[in-house]
């Protein structure tokens, strides 16, 4: 079938792709009747996603037609945070936008402008990858570093391996041992489960390492519950078992790695008994998994972003990624590890973003430090904040400081979005942008090796405009004339594909239009690191001179999570709080949909029965979760799926739609991880107390 079926009786089917922040980047088909999108389904012949959509995206058309969708430009008429707006024309909106930016640039310089893009779309044109990038370069705006999701792990992986190529997820079908480490793919990466299931049908053993018995862990052969943030210690302990058994692949190590002698000494310092004290895992269980790892080829490790959201998150990924280098699993089909597949795509991002439009270098502002940037930054202070595809008032650490910064009267804020989010309530202008079935975009994936083109299936609703068109109009209103600022969406796609990289050789816009998706130019499944290891040495670097030059331990190490392991903090706030993904939301997206909000229910905090009993907390009772930074209200869920001393609450709730007006991020510190300025969402201590304390058994008598 071609990308778009011929219309029949005013009915057509157009292929596109899901834009959301998920490894699967699903291929979909939009069913259109009389020019209106009426249905959605997965593309049945896509080799990875195979016609299946998740429970969230299954309702995308309803989301698209939601009664609270933004359809017209809005101007604030009340105090910041009040959400009071009036409708204005696009001409007025663009003129105001341009006038304020021009004045700020003249008075404070281009660096006073912070273009703040989030993961509302992962597309190159309309999303976090580069939306408005050419214009921001031309204006000399501050660089936005989108560090909130994966940067700690990406940096850690790069120190060891050179890049984030990793294991092709389709190769999991060939593994004999699969370790899912700090990930819950049945909720966040469900299409990889088919390949895991194929391996299990052939006899593979599945282990899940997670502080929580998640939906995925419940389906595993073995669940290992770990103290949050101690994963690097476990990795070293497992390798200790491998090495003491003499099971390291000495030939692979000699040919493909550097620094083994020093790293071996580091590994020998982490026997299972020491690691057990750090991780909370019995030494016998560590030894058992280490022995299985030593004798089982190929072994495949799947890990994702949650594992690196603490003070030692980058080092955790750096250390885990050394395991296949010690066991030699990279040489086997189905062996290795994957954090992301994003590096397989060799698009021409430089030609797309055009950094040459920038007259001089500019500072870089860190996404995770928005509160600090708005309240403390000087020389120049941030005077304009342009938010696209993000809801930092809900999603960023230290929610109280972020909201205080957004409330600044001297801050000009523009929010470009589909809905009036918590962040939009603080904006001076709110601009309605198109949804995926209404615009053009190009999507790489970070969980498979396919490239997708999305083109409009229907006309935009209301007065919604593609983000690319908003920035073209803004460039014109600013009096800018460089033709690069007015490139069409088609020209932007072609600029990315014209890279000369072997991964996209022969992949053209025309071919993508015909099919909707194409596999990058790699075998199926792909050999991991097909062009070798892109480190300075060309080998896996157990010892990294780059890490040493950056002030880090040159060897993989256990860097303790700062707050989790702090005895003084634990004395005041005894529970470690982690906030994994919700099954019903994607980050904060869909958290305003009444049906999904009903299914999710109120914010819940899951507690071990012993922790609940010690606090007089009954199942289903209202509680206050708090620390020195802030608090939120939740409903207690007493469960045996979490370990003692750990509390779990899902991320993504909109503060303005929940009791108490805050969510978990009110308690999270605005602090960097060890690498890449990552966030530390899981390096967080709290206490939980009942809002209406239950009578004690003695008092009840």
Residue 633 has pLDDT above 50, yes or no: yes
Q: How far apart are CA 321 and CA 303, in angstroms?
A: 10
Query: For residue range 26-64, what is the model confidence (pLDDT) as tens digits?
Result: 999 999 999 999 999 999 999 999 999 998 899 999 999
Query: For residue range 328-362, what is the model confidence (pLDDT) as tens digits?
Result: 999 999 999 999 999 999 999 999 999 999 999 99
Task: Identify the CATH assignment for 152-342+528-549 out of 2.60.260.20, 2.40.128.690, 3.10.110.10, 3.40.228.10.
Answer: 3.40.228.10
Count of other CB atoms within 10 angstroms of residue 470: 27
Average pLDDT score over residue span 486-496 = 97
Q: Where are the domains of the chain?
A: 152-342+528-549, 567-700
Q: Which residue has the tokens 């017209």?
A: 72
Residue 2 has pLDDT above 60, yes or no: no
Average pLDDT score over residue span 60-85 = 97
Query: For residue range 229-261, what is the model confidence (pLDDT) as tens digits?
Result: 999 999 999 999 999 999 999 999 999 999 999
Alpha helical stretches, state H, 479-557: 489-497, 509-515, 545-549
Query: For residue range 542-573, what is the model confidence (pLDDT) as tens digits?
Result: 999 999 999 999 999 999 999 999 999 999 99
Contact by Cβ (8 Å): 675, 155: yes
pLDDT value of position 3: 44
Burial bucket for residue 605 (CB in 10 Å: 0-12, 13-18, 19+): buried
Contact by Cβ (8 Å): 76, 428: yes
pLDDT value of position 9: 62
378 vs 129: which has the higher pLDDT: 378
pLDDT value of position 300: 99
Residue 1 has pLDDT above 50, yes or no: no
pLDDT value of position 698: 39
Query: For residue range 524-539, what is the model confidence (pLDDT) as tens digits?
Result: 999 899 889 999 999 9
pLDDT value of position 693: 54
Contact by Cβ (8 Å): 233, 278: yes
**Considering the domain 567-700, what is its CATH architecture?**
Beta Barrel (2.40)
Query: For residue range 107-142, what is the model confidence (pLDDT) as tens digits?
Result: 999 999 999 999 889 999 999 877 789 999 999 999
| Percent of the chain topping pLDDT 70 | 97
Residues 6 or more apart from 569 whose CB is under 8 A from it? 563, 685
Q: How far apart are CA 124 and CA 504, in angstroms?
A: 15
Q: How far apart are CA 630 and CA 233, in angstroms?
A: 31
Query: For residue range 494-524, what is the model confidence (pLDDT) as tens digits?
Result: 999 999 999 999 999 999 999 999 999 999 9
Residue 7 has pLDDT above 70, yes or no: no
Q: Which two tokens stand for residue 391?
A: 């809801």
pLDDT value of position 147: 87
Q: What is the pTM of this model?
A: 0.95
pLDDT value of position 129: 75
Which of 391, 429, 427, 464 is CA-nearest to residue 655?
A: 391
pLDDT value of position 350: 95
Burial bucket for residue 10 (CB in 10 Å: 0-12, 13-18, 19+): exposed
């Amino acid at each position: 079938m071609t990308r778009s079926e011929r219309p029949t009786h005013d009915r057509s089917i157009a292929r596109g792709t899901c834009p959301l922040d998920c490894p699967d980047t699903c291929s979909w088909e939009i069913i259109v009747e009389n020019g209106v999108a009426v249905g959605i389904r997965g593309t049945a012949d896509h080799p990875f996603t195979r016609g299946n959509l998740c429970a969230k995206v299954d309702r995308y058309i309803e989301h698209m037609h939601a009664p609270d969708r933004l359809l017209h430009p809005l101007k604030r008429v009340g105090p910041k945070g009040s959400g009071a707006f009036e409708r204005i024309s696009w001409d007025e909106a663009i003129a105001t936008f341009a006038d304020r930016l021009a004045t700020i640039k003249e008075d404070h310089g281009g660096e006073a402008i912070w273009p703040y893009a989030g993961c509302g779309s992962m597309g190159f044109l309309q999303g976090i990858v580069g939306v408005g990038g050419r214009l921001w370069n031309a204006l000399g705006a501050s660089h936005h570093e989108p560090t909130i999701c994966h940067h700690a792990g990406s940096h850690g992986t790069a120190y060891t391996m050179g890049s984030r190529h990793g294991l092709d997820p389709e190769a999991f079908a060939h593994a004999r041992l699969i370790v899912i480490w700090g990930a819950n793919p049945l909720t966040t990466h469900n299409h990889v489960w088919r390949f895991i299931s194929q391996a299990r049908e052939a006899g593979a053993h599945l282990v899940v390492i997670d502080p929580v018995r998640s939906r995925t862990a419940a389906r595993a052969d073995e669940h290992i519950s770990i103290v949050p943030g101690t994963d690097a210690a476990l990795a070293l302990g497992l390798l200790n078992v491998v090495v003491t058994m003499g099971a390291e692949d000495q030939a692979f190590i000699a040919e493909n790695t550097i620094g083994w002698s020093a790293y071996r000494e580091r590994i020998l310092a982490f026997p299972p008994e020491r690691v057990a004290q750090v991780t909370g895992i019995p030494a016998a269980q560590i030894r058992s998994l280490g022995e299985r790892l030593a004798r089982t080829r190929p072994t495949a490790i799947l890990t994702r972003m949650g594992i690196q959201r603490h003070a030692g998150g980058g080092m955790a990924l750096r250390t885990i990624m050394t395991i296949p280098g010690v066991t030699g699993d990279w040489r086997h089909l189905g062996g290795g590890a994957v954090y992301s597949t994003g590096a397989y795509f060799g698009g021409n991002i430089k030609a797309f973003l055009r950094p040459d439009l920038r007259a001089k270098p500019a500072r870089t502002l860190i996404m995770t430090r928005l509160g600090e940037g708005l309240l403390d930054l000087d020389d120049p202070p941030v005077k304009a904040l342009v938010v696209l595809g993000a809801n930092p008032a809900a999603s960023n650490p230290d929610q109280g400081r972020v909201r205080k910064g957004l409330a600044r009267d001297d801050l000009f804020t523009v929010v470009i979005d589909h809905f009036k989010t918590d962040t939009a309530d603080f904006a001076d202008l709110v601009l309605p942008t198109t949804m995926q079935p209404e615009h053009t975009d190009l999507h790489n994936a970070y969980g498979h090796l396919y490239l997708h083109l999305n083109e409009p299936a229907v006309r935009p609703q209301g007065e919604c405009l593609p983000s690319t068109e908003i920035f073209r109009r803004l460039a014109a209103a600013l009096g800018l004339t460089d033709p690069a600022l007015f490139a069409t969406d088609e020209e932007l796609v072609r600029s990315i594909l014209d890279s000369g990289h072997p991964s996209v050789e022969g992949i053209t816009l025309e071919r993508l239009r015909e099919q909707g998706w194409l596999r990058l130019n790699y075998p199926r499944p792909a050999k991991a690191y097909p062009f070798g290891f892109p480190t300075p040495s060309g080998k896996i670097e157990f010892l990294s001179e780059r890490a040493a030059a950056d002030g880090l331990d040159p060897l993989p190490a256990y860097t303790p999570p700062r707050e989790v392991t702090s005895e003084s903090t634990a004395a005041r706030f005894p529970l470690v709080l982690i906030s994994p993904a919700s099954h019903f939301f994607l980050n904060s997206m869909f958290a305003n949909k009444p049906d999904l909000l009903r299914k999710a229910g109120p914010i819940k905090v899951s507690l071990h029965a012993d922790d609940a009993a010690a606090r007089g907390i009954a199942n289903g009772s209202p509680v206050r979760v708090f620390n020195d930074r802030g608090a939120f209200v939740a409903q207690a869920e007493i469960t045996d799926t979490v370990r003692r001393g750990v509390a779990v609450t899902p991320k993504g709730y909109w503060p303005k739609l929940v009791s108490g007006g805050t969510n978990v991020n009110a308690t999270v510190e605005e602090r960097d991880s060890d690498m890449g300025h990552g966030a530390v969402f899981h390096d967080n201590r709290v206490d939980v107390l009942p809002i209406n304390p239950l009578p004690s058994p003695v008092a009840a008598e």
